A and B are shown apart, each in its own frame.
Chain A
Amino acid sequence: MPYLLENLSEEILFFYKGIFSYPVIVEISHHIRNDLMLEDNLREKLFAIFVELAQNVNSYSLQRTKASIINKEVGVGAFYIIEYKNCVKIATLNQVNDEQIQKLNARLNKINVLDRKGLRALKMSFRNEAIQDKANSGNVGLVEVALKSANPILLEAIHFQNAQYALITTQINKKTD
């Protein structure tokens, strides 16, 4: 987690590494929504972004383990929230392969050039495809993250101990008077 180490001097509001089962995600969601020392509006956005990013870790992380309480295999990863003077950054990290990185890159290249209107249109387009294909995934989690953050979503591939990890980061700007 080089970013984390670099940012130790900043205000780390939350750091977690472990399983991303739904009960864990919901528990963390409660804390983000209710306990972080931030404005209501920021907490709600962070909560919604976390839910979407965490679901991706749950579903797509290559590192998996069985969560005994729900008797299911779930993804393992990490996430953090760091507060800066003018913004709050949220990131997830999970193990991926080359194909996943390429797909993520392609999707983010599409998302990051769009304005709000374009993002809404893209979301409906992806959702319609999913409905027509009867796919279980709505495939719009990252689009929702972009809508909520109103900032680009950054992707970095990190190589560590013979494994590759996707670090996905976005930020929410604080309101300036």
Chain B
Amino acid sequence: MQDLIIKGEKKTYFTPDVNFSASTGICTIAGESYQEETFEFFNKLTAWLEEYIVKIRKPIEMNFKLTYFNTASARAIQEMVIVLKKYKDQGGNVTINWYYVDEEDSTYEEAEDMQAQVGINFNMIKMESNY
């Protein structure tokens, strides 16, 4: 299984950096997400996770280091979290680390709401500064 690596951009759209490693199970999304083809973008990520869960079945550490995302991206992120929750319920070893700059950030509130909604805990980790 191949790693999934996408270089983010901040010109025409805001797309995050993506680095999903099939060999370590460490997956990181970092930066900002606001784009026209939100679902196409995140579907690639979700499909990768689903393939990893079927083929590799090793621990996953998901790191969300997002400093801004619009509501369409938030919905897509929640769908990824649902996939991870299902894997955990099936006995998978899943860790979700959610990085934030400030408790006042809307991304912090989003994380709180997603945890409650999906029923999975995140490790909330304060970042020193913006990604």
Chain A residues in the interface with B (C-beta under 8 A): 22-23, 26, 29, 48, 51-52, 55, 70, 120, 123-124, 127-128, 130-131, 136-138, 140-141, 144, 147-148
Contacts and interface: CB of A to CB of B under 8 A. Distances in A.
Contact of A138 (B11, B34, B68, B75): B75
Contact of B117 (A128, A130, A144): A128
Given A48-B106, A51-B34, A148-B106, A141 B71 contact: yes
23 contacts: A22-B12, A22-B13, A26-B12, A26-B13, A51-B34, A51-B70, A52-B70, A55-B70, A70-B36, A123-B71, A127-B71, A127-B117, A128-B117, A131-B78, A136-B39, A138-B71, A138-B72, A138-B74, A138-B75, A140-B74, A144-B70, A144-B71, A148-B106
Contact of A23 (B12, B68, B72, B79): B12
Contacts of B13: 22, 26
Contacts of B14: 26
B75 A130 contact: yes
A26 B74 contact: no
Interface of B: 11-14, 34-36, 39, 68, 70-72, 74-75, 78-79, 82, 106, 109, 113, 116-117
A34 B77 CA distance: 26
Contacts of A120: 109, 113
A13 B75 CA distance: 32
**In the A-B complex, the 4 residue pairs with the closest CB atoms:** A138-B75, A22-B36, A140-B71, A138-B71
Contacts of A128: 117
